[in-house]
Amino acid sequence: MSEAHTISQNPDIRFLGRMLGNVIRHYGGETLYRRTEYIRSASVDRARGLADAESIDPGLDALSLDDTLAFVRGFMLFSMLANLAEDRQGVAAEPGADVAHAVERLRGEGIGDEAIAALLKDALIAPVLTAHPTEVRRKSVIDHRNRIAELMQLRDTGAVETPEGEPVELAIERQIALLWQTRPLRRERLYVADEVETARTYFQDVFLPVLPALYARWERALGERPPSFVRPGSWIGGDRDGNPFVTADSLRLALSRGAETAIAHYLDCLHALGAELSVSSGLADVEPAVIALAEASHDEAAARIDEPYRRAISGIYARLSASFEALTGHAPPRPTRIVADPYSSPEALAADLRVLGRSIGGAGGPLAGPGPLGRLIRAVETFGFHMATLDLRQNSAVHERVVGELLARAGVEAVYAALDEAGRVALLLRELGSARLLSSPFADYSDETRSELEIARAAAEAHARYGPASIRAYIVSMCKSVSDLLEVHILLKEAGLFVPGKPPAIMAVPLFETIADLEAAPFIMRDWFGLPGIVEWARERGRQEVMLGYSDSNKDGGYLTSVWSLYRASEALRDIFAEASVAMQLFHGRGGAVGRGGGSSFAAIRGQPTGTVQGCIRITEQGEVIAAKYGTPESAATNLEAITAATLLASLEPPSLSGSDKARFEDAMAELSRTAFQDYRGLVYETDGFRSFFRQMTPIAEIATLKIGSRPASRTKSDAIEDLRAIPWVFSWAQARVMLPGWYGVGHALAAFGDKALLREMAEAWPFFAPTLGNLEMVLAKSDMGIAARYAGLVEDRQTADAIFGRIRDGWYRTRDILLEVTDQSRLLEKTPGLDTSIRLRMPYVEPLNLLQIELLKRHRAGEADPRIAEGIQLSINAIATALRNSG
């Protein structure tokens, strides 16, 4: 787009905008280019106050349907390129959010290296990729974007040509031209196998090379080799809560593709190591253990006879090739002629590699550092033979039905669902004490039961093939009682993964996700630890995990009550776990949007209550967040540094608040949460007509038609807000620029709170409250009541629409005003200039997209049948989501 009109100070945005302008002009024609430019500069003028804010852009009316589609595509690409440029400038990176700084800071606070080492000994940091459907972009689009990022990096180095001899700037323009001609919308629905494949590429291209390299850096910062404590995980192929397409076959596919990729990578590394480690035993001391490996290798080539490392590597390669073949059923890409036994486990492979490492580094010097061999050992320690630990996840209601059916068919209990909690627990414990199984190959079960049993059996197969690290946790959604957890043990038992008297091979993990369940969580866990064997098994395993759901608690109780309930639950759980002497591991189920727990992971982890992290944290990484954080090796390194640094700080820094301040702040927060809760529930659940207002005002129905995920948009046919999945709820409010889940109720609560000085103090000093307000502020800056009012115009019942929208708009202004007062600012984002510039420069580009979307929604809902209208709506949803970044 034209340089003159691009208001950004970011030179990369200017450069990429100019390239995109060239491409549009060349391939879309001069007229389209000029129209696009006109609309863009008019929006910018309006945003700068140079034109009447209420006037609708006249340029939009002039667009034909074809032009509209092209225009939306152009704006979407501009937003994507602008995001890329910003990411490069490090707008997203927080200062000090890396391990070296964290260690320095801890040392400065008198926290010794021993304390850090002790923490890391049992630490576990796990970003867990999920297939939650909020990524609107096709993989092909993301791949082009990443290629542009690489080329921009090359350009930074001053290179004028790519290694292939193409001028760098031309290569960038070429890539943008390809983007312009790539269809942004999927034609076909997405299958679980596609999701598995996408995740696999992140592991192959990013996690596998990046993590071992990061450890080398961390080793320098820490002054010693830390254990391999980062273990990326995945839900893809294992999370079947509300997704009937995830089956035992999905589980098998996810793990076998992971294994294939991981082991092929190790084989490549070994091949390269074989070339590198040309050390002759005549010129260096070689440990006898290496000689033994060399002798056992069956590599008798005369040319290598004095090269024990190479010979040992031939043997290791042969054994690993045999493992590859045993696990995948086919030969590796580069087979070997040596016949060998497969490794029994990744640990056995790592042990052989360590033998080489000890010998080659034995004399100290440059060969002692973590070179390629050290990186390979890291990779094997981290990714094993399975690549990513895959979690199982199902809804407690399904388990209840399945276990009920098994009990009934076995003649144990006719109507399990009719039992009260005590009756269920007694019955399940009895069953778990007996070695007899409930299921029979001859009984006739429902599809659901058959499928659940098959999943459990596939998990048992996976343990046998890839080892116990392949599946460690079984998440129980909507967990409300200990029987919900015991039901999982019953299913595990049917597959041989639970044997009476022994710890289950897979840990049952409760997911608490409504406000009431978060309040009940500590009591449920106390009861859980009171059951026979549970505490001992958790100690044996090293920890018990609890998962906390951010989105559903937000939908249930509003932003403030959700974050407060999560905080309170974490603290209360910490105390219950301490009483039981069991190490606690929290798993945070959060998405990208603030209404789903989004915002900076660094700040979020640091803001966790004292004593709730202790080196252990798992966090979901979902949808558009995955490409943003892990799209390129550089961004992945930045984000893995940030969560690791935050975990160190949250675990080891002394609390920043005195006990009395903490108590004062918490009392205030409890009151704020109560008021916000009432206000939020009053609007969302107790207002007549709210449901249809929401359905007509936002593109919720149209979002359900996007082909962005394998799972259906809703679990049930009901249109109650309670039954809606949290993702479309948050997503649709973002499109309409209301972003209600990120702020509603907060303004009322803050304004009604008497002691404003106390609120100011909390905003200054409390690591929990400051990011809570910071995220809220970002949401307010991205929402726009002027545009939202136009969406409200889509609602048929005008009277209800005016009344409900009036409440929302008043709430928004109230929230903004009180936020400014409490944070002592005269406008939003005054104190965060980086974010302020980014949002202020970008939001004008969203406005025309919103206006076009509203127009298209009107025509669509009025029954116009032209397929370009539906396509335009979907494109506009994509474009707005891309421009807002964390919308889903």
Q: Which of 69, 111, 672, 726 binds ligand PGA (CB under 6 A)?
A: 726
When the beta carbons of 246 and 273 are compared against ligand PGA, the nearer one is: 246
**C-alpha–C-alpha distance, residues 229 and 227, integer Å:** 6
- Residue 493 within binding range of ligand PGA, rule CB under 6 A: no
- Residue 575: enclosing H or E segment and its boundaries? helix 559-580
When the beta carbons of 723 and 864 are compared against ligand PGA, the nearer one is: 723
**C-alpha–C-alpha distance, residues 518 and 155, integer Å:** 50
Among 174-182, 413-421, 589-597, 628-636, which window interacts with ligand PGA (CB under 6 A)? 589-597
Q: Can you give the length of the chain in residues? A: 888
Q: Which residue has the tokens 């276990």?
A: 403
Q: Which of 725, 737, 790, 816 binds ligand PGA (CB under 6 A)?
A: 725
Helix axes 867-884, 65-89, angle to 10 degrees: 20
- Residue 588 within binding range of ligand PGA, rule CB under 6 A: no
- Residue 396 within binding range of ligand PGA, rule CB under 6 A: no
Give me the catalytic one of 132, 463, 748, 860.
132
Count of other CB atoms within 10 angstroms of residue 825: 14
Q: Which of 596, 606, 629, 737 binds ligand PGA (CB under 6 A)?
A: 596
**Which DSSP category does 25 fall into?**
I
Which residue from 393, 470, 584, 464 is spatially nearest to 231, judged by alpha carbons? 470
For the chain, the distance separating the N- and C-terminal CA atoms, rounded to the nearest angstrom, is 28
Residue 843 CB, nearest approach to ligand PGA (Å): 24
Among 576-584, 628-636, 720-728, 847-855, which window interacts with ligand PGA (CB under 6 A)? 720-728
Site residues for ligand PGA, 94-153, by CB under 6 A, read 132
Give me the catalytic one of 144, 555, 629, 782.
555
- Residue 510 within binding range of ligand PGA, rule CB under 6 A: no
When the beta carbons of 610 and 698 are compared against ligand PGA, the nearer one is: 698
- Contacts of 319 by beta carbon, 8 Å cutoff, 6+ apart: 340, 341, 342, 343, 349, 352
Query: Active-site residue 139, yes or no?
Result: no
String marking each residue 299-338 x if it binds ligand PGA according to CB under 6 A? ----------------------------------------
CB 529 within 8 A of CB 582: yes
Among 89-97, 413-421, 679-687, 724-732, which window interacts with ligand PGA (CB under 6 A)? 724-732
CB 316 within 8 A of CB 323: no
Among 110-118, 183-191, 567-575, 722-730, which window interacts with ligand PGA (CB under 6 A)? 722-730
**Which DSSP category does 654 fall into?**
P
- Residue 885 within binding range of ligand PGA, rule CB under 6 A: no
CB 786 within 8 A of CB 854: no
CB 771 within 8 A of CB 597: no
When the beta carbons of 381 and 552 are compared against ligand PGA, the nearer one is: 552
Q: Which residue has the tokens 């597959």?
A: 495
When the beta carbons of 239 and 666 are compared against ligand PGA, the nearer one is: 239
Q: Which residue has the tokens 């603290």?
A: 571
Number of residues binding to ligand PGA, judged by CB under 6 A: 10
Among 200-208, 212-220, 723-731, 878-886, which window interacts with ligand PGA (CB under 6 A)? 723-731
- Contacts of 592 by beta carbon, 8 Å cutoff, 6+ apart: 134, 598, 622, 623, 624, 625, 628, 885, 886, 887, 888
Residue 570 CB, nearest approach to ligand PGA (Å): 18
Q: Which of 79, 551, 585, 608 binds ligand PGA (CB under 6 A)?
A: 551
Beta-ladder partners of 512 = 548
Site residues for ligand PGA, 620-639, by CB under 6 A, read none
Beta-ladder partners of 544 = 584
CA distances to 118, 161, 704, 868, 871 from 874, rounded to whole Å, are 51, 38, 10, 10, 5
CB 602 within 8 A of CB 643: yes
Query: Active-site residue 555, yes or no?
Result: yes
CB 696 within 8 A of CB 860: no
When the beta carbons of 265 and 885 are compared against ligand PGA, the nearer one is: 885
Among 254-262, 345-353, 588-596, 848-856, which window interacts with ligand PGA (CB under 6 A)? 588-596
Nearest residue to ligand PGA, using CB? 551
Residue 478 CB, nearest approach to ligand PGA (Å): 9
When the beta carbons of 241 and 352 are compared against ligand PGA, the nearer one is: 241
Which residue from 726, 823, 818, 809 is spatially nearest to 769, judged by alpha carbons? 823
Site residues for ligand PGA, 202-241, by CB under 6 A, read 241
Residue 623, phi-psi category: left (phi > 0), alpha (psi -120 to 50), beta (remainder): left
Q: Please report, as ranges, the residues that interact with ligand PGA according to CB under 6 A.
A: 132, 241, 551-552, 589, 591, 596, 725-727
Residues classed as catalytic: 132, 555
